[in-house]
Amino acid sequence: MSEYKEFTDRMEKTCSVLVESFNAVRAGRANAAVLDKITVEYYGSVTPIQQLATISTPDPRTLAIQPWDGSVLKGIEKAILASDLGINPQNDGRVIRLVFPQLTEERRKDLVKQVKKYGEEAKVAIRNIRRDAMDKFKKMQKASEITEDDCKDLEKGLQKLTDDYIKKVEGLCAKKEKELTEI
């Protein structure tokens, strides 16, 4: 399996990126992961919110963001408003609260579509990795590093690996869709 190590690592990374993307899709429950990609200008450098504040969940549908430095409160509020989160922050002068509304049926369907899109992008990425691997094996065969039979065997193994990762992506998508559609 050492021939596949490089490609297995790349496919695993694709799945990790997919899970990160899913974490940013909010499912009606407060989840600090929705803030992962939001950054704030702080003393001349772009800084993630997690490095500027304590983030807590006082109840299942609320996130509380309490900055360690009160001067950055307005910056955090602006960054959240500018993001694609779709939630208006409530600023009381010390803490910013994000209240996640219950998802409507229409919003759930939109989120499921988004999840499917992410899943499809991950499958395309995995197929591209397979294509890169096939090209590498064919070059090795042309350079007489491996025989034609070895190349066929490697391609069969690679196809099985690809199928396994496609199934894994489909499983991740199904799990996220289930989470979004349950009330």
Return the pLDDT at 26. 63
Return the pLDDT at 166. 92
1 CA to centre of own chain: 28
Residues in the chain, pLDDT under 50: none
Return the pLDDT at 69. 84
Return the pLDDT at 123. 93
Which amino acid appears at position 168 of this protein?
K
pTM for the complete prediction?
0.68
119 in Cβ contact with 172 (< 8 Å): yes
Return the pLDDT at 28. 62
Strand partners, 98: 63
Domains delineated in the chain: 2-23+104-181 (1.10.132.20), 28-99 (3.30.1360.40)
Contacts of residue 17, defined as CB under 8 A and 6 or more positions apart, other chains included, come to: 122
* Residue 67, phi then psi, degrees to nearest 5: -70, 150
* Contacts of the segment 102-106: beta carbons below 8 A, 24+ positions apart: 102/28, 102/61, 103/27, 103/28, 103/180
Return the pLDDT at 160. 92
